[in-house]
Structure 1
Amino acid sequence: MNRIPKIVILGAGYGGILTAQRLQKTLNYNEADVTLVNKHDYHYITTSLHIPAAGTGNPESSRVNISKLIDEFKVDFVKSTVVQINPEEKKVILTEGTLSYDYLVVGLGGETETFGIPGLKEHAFNIRSINSVRHIRDHIEYQFAKYKREPEHTEYLTFVVGGAGFTGIEFVGELSDRIPELCKEYDVNPSLVKIYNIEAAPTALPGFDPELVQYAMEVLTAKGVTFKIGTAIKECTAEGVLVAGDEFIKSATVIWTGGIRGNHLLDEAGFETMRGRIKVDEFLRIPGHDNVFVLGDCSLMINPENERPYPPTAQIAMQQGVVCAFNLAASIRGGQLKKFKYDNKGTVASLGKGEAIGIIGTRKIKGFAAAFMKKVIDIRYLFIIGGVGLVLRKGKLF
């Protein structure tokens, strides 16, 4: 009697959850044992975390219990933290035991990339999880309460966001919507509140359409955001940030959105990485390890059109999850694997309530039309992972 192969999926992010869901639909009973490992018992929607971080939405809107997304008769769920990956022994060490595998899917998500900037790790917030956005939301509101007791400390009302990529831009859009409400609640003069968005690159939203970038900056500037583009943060302290030109911006709130790297566990496992990411082959496998697939923030794939890495977006991770599941089933059945080819269906960035910019196909959209499209994209994702029921429960919260 042949032994049933074991598939272990590490991480229930966009790639991991889509892999698990597709496998439970594709594989027959007793064709494989599938185990999904995640440190939380919920999947969270990373692309909407900027909303509860600013306080314009509830963190609960960005999380879905994993039990609602998988069939636990077909996929075993293990709530635990991954400590070590041992490819030689085909084992994964968890905080609560060890799992062996025949096929491994690594979708652990990325980690904050500080680029060696002193003090960022110690003094800056990051929009990376449900718990982190709760902390940011509460901290921001607390600054208004502190200012009322200590009005000489105007740095309590100064908010610095490092990085003007998608997360940074979307966050300052939401924060600029939240500030008037907080000013009214705490009886604070709005003119005292400062929001700085600092970006080392020569433009906000690097790589995005210049016309739409200009529109976004005009909208956000009108909402009270001060941009410092082409300006690097040199150091972060408990009192604020030192930027290029030796300007020091006093602030009690620094939020870093300037980049991510792959998971440190891949380096520690002995795999060859670039900033913690692994350059996978056309089938999403690690070269030399045909039984290990890597998705999302931990994978590195080159765009043949410009010879640059694809950005680690939710869209690409979802597509990788679908192809990964197909290739796992094909590997088990001795079938032909499918090459991964990214299909860019468009990109939309929110600028706060009723405002956004985007490119759908070759069409540029902005304003309310783009904001509506952003909502459609969010609801579409809920439908993909949870059907109509999840849309009805969560759709209205976006």
Structure 2
Amino acid sequence: MKVLQINTYYEHGSTGRLVEQLLKKQKESGIEGYVMYGRSIGEEQLNENVIKINSKTGFLAHKYKYHLLGRNGFYSKNETKRAVEIIDEINPDIVHLHNIHGYYINIEILFKYLHKKNIPVVWTFHDCWPFTGHCNHFHSIGCEKWKTGCFSCPLKTKGPRSIIFDRSKESYEAKRKLFSSIKNMRIVTVSNWLNELVKESFLQGISSNVIYNWINRSVFNEDKTDETFKIKHNIENKFVILGVAPAWTTRKGISDFLELAKIISEDEIIVLVGSTLENKLFGEKPVKNLPKNIISIPPTKNASELALIYKSADVFINPSREETFGLTTAEALSCGTPAIVYDTTACPEVVGIDETSGYIAKPFDVQDLYSKVKLVKTHGKLHFSRNAISRVNKLFNKEKNLSEYLNIYTELVKNKG
């Protein structure tokens, strides 16, 4: 069996790492796996089965055309025509899509080709973009236009930004037609919450499964805990409240951490991993002059370094307004660190409602968030660690969840035959 994955990234970022690990699992299981990706973050460890299908110049051209003209996913025509030629040469039994809205591929050319060739498709939804006319997330503003048809998008100027034209209606109709044209397709969502949204969208007639993202326990675990990180930042005697995000935006909860900093006690410190200066990419002002009880750590591509920071924390907080999964929360739990999330979107699914791995706070209520921090402080980190790790092993088990994808491949190939 040949399986081709297509994603924005390979190896880097949350989805890029998942694609890499799935490719490795395919190889171990006797599947001839391939990856096409569009953008680089660092130096990828490539092989002949991993193919970059766009350039930095092509990415920027796609991005700026979108910013000016709207309709993300309808540019990069020449790059996608070449990609389709490569797909023809590979002749895959399955095409496994991940994120296809990263300014690198033309969805019209791709889906017309997949329809013509009648190639079975697995599509993992990591956000809500596949069934909207513009945005990746809409929950925080309470928009429900995606259920019947997008228009006059209230998020037009937000990341991803369309500066001039609102073409959400046009994009919605084109996506509905293209994505519904594949006869043998299985949607995989990364949470039950996201799966319920799919059932209300124009893709409701397509079969869907829930497969949680998995955690690499060989990296994110409770082993080898030391004080190196705390000593480096002179916080050995502090109760460490940790947050992790690629960029600290309003959606990710930066304002909540700023409010939390006003009320925490002197023996407590907030550590934020992730950029506080790249908010302008999301239509927001950079966060400068953080209070003294917030330590800002640049984002890291080193998973082992990140795991050490998780282990050094006493509690992890994810105050995000909306998450389709919440990978950083699961990584923290895997390191034995209890987590606190808001009762919104998929966040509670990761922590659980039984309060054995952490707590669920009232949505966007910083006082309630802090009350949960004090509960963790009272009980102690070790009170939660064993259950947190057990939850990860049960729900976010790497081998189990990877194998579920292989089962779907087999099923779709049989259906085609």
Instruction: Give the structure-2-normalised TM-score.
Output: 0.27
More strand per residue: 1 or 2? Answer: 1
